[in-house]
Amino acid sequence: MPKLICPACDQRFNLTDNRVVCDCGGLLNLVQPLEKLKKQNLKEIFDSRLGARELPDASGVWRYRELLFPVEKIMSRGEGNTRLYPAPQISVELDVEVLFKHEGENPSGSFKDRGMTAAISAGANIGCRNFVCASTGNTSASLASYCAANDLNGIVIIPEGKIAFGKLSQALAFGAKVLQVEGDFDAAMQLVNELGRRFNPENPSESVYVLNSVNPFRIEGQKTIVLEILQQLAWEAPDWIVLPAGNLGNTSAFGKAISEAFDLGLIDKKPRLAAVQATGANPFFNYFKSGWEKFESVENPETIATAIKIGNPQSFLRAKRSIETTNGIVLEATEDEILDAKATIDAAGIGCEPASACSLAGIRQLVKSGEIKPGQKIVGVLTGHLLKDPDTTVNYHSGRLAVSNAARVNRPQKIEADLDAIFKAIGRE
Ligand SMILES: [Zn+2]
203 pLDDT higher than 70: yes
What pLDDT sits at residue 184? 80
CATH of the domain at 361: 3.40.50.1100
Percent of the chain exceeding pLDDT 90 equals 81
7 pLDDT higher than 80: yes
165 pLDDT higher than 80: no
What pLDDT sits at residue 164? 67
Residue 340 lies in a domain: yes
12 CA distance to ligand 1 centroid (A)? Answer: 8
What confidence tens digit (pLDDT) does each residue in 312-336 have?
Answer: 998 899 999 999 999 999 999 999 9
30 CA distance to ligand 1 centroid (A)? Answer: 13
Percent of the chain exceeding pLDDT 70 equals 99
Looking at the structure of the chain, the number of domains it has is 1
196 CA distance to ligand 1 centroid (A)? Answer: 14
Residue 386's domain comprises 1-109+216-429
What confidence tens digit (pLDDT) does each residue in 206-253 have?
Answer: 999 999 878 999 999 999 999 999 999 999 999 999 999 999 999 999
Lowest mean pLDDT among 73-77, 171-175, 199-203, 318-322: 199-203
Residue 116 lies in a domain: no
Higher pLDDT, 183 or 40: 40
> Which residues lie near ion ligand 1 (Cβ < 5 Å)?
6, 8-9, 11, 22, 24, 26
Residue 124 lies in a domain: no
196 pLDDT tier (thresholds 50, 70, 90): confident
Residue 159 lies in a domain: no
200 CA distance to ligand 1 centroid (A)? Answer: 17
162 pLDDT higher than 70: no
What pLDDT sits at residue 185? 79
What confidence tens digit (pLDDT) does each residue in 252-264 have?
Answer: 999 999 999 999 9
Q: Average pLDDT, whole number, for the chain?
A: 94
What pLDDT sits at residue 30? 95
What pLDDT sits at residue 80? 98
301 pLDDT higher than 70: yes
Residue 206 lies in a domain: no
Residue 149 lies in a domain: no
Write the secondary structure of the chain as one string of H (helix), E (strand) and C (coil).
CCEEECCCCCCEEEHHHCCCECCCCCECEEECCHHHHCCCCHHHHHHHCCCCCCCCCCCCCHHHHHHCCCCCCCCCCCCCCCCEEECHHHHHHHCCEEEEEEHHHCCCCECHHHHHHHHHHHHHHCCCCEEEEECCCHHHHHHHHHHHHCCCEEEEEEECCCCCHHHHHHHHHCCCEEEEECCCHHHHHHHHHHHHHCCCCCCCCCCEEECCCCCHHHHHHHHHHHHHHHHHCCCCCCCEEEEECCCCHHHHHHHHHHHHHHHCCCCCCCCEEEEEEECCECHHHHHHHCCCCCCCCCCCCCCCCHHHCCCCCCCHHHHHHHHHHCCCEEEEECHHHHHHHHHHHHHCCCCCCHHHHHHHHHHHHHHHCCCCCCCCEEEEEECECHHHCHHHHHHHHCCCCCCCCCCCCCCCCCCCCCHHHHHHHCCCC
181 CA distance to ligand 1 centroid (A)? Answer: 29
18 CA distance to ligand 1 centroid (A)? Answer: 15
296 CA distance to ligand 1 centroid (A)? Answer: 21
Residue 162 lies in a domain: no
Its pTM stands at 0.95
Residue 187 lies in a domain: no
213 CA distance to ligand 1 centroid (A)? Answer: 17
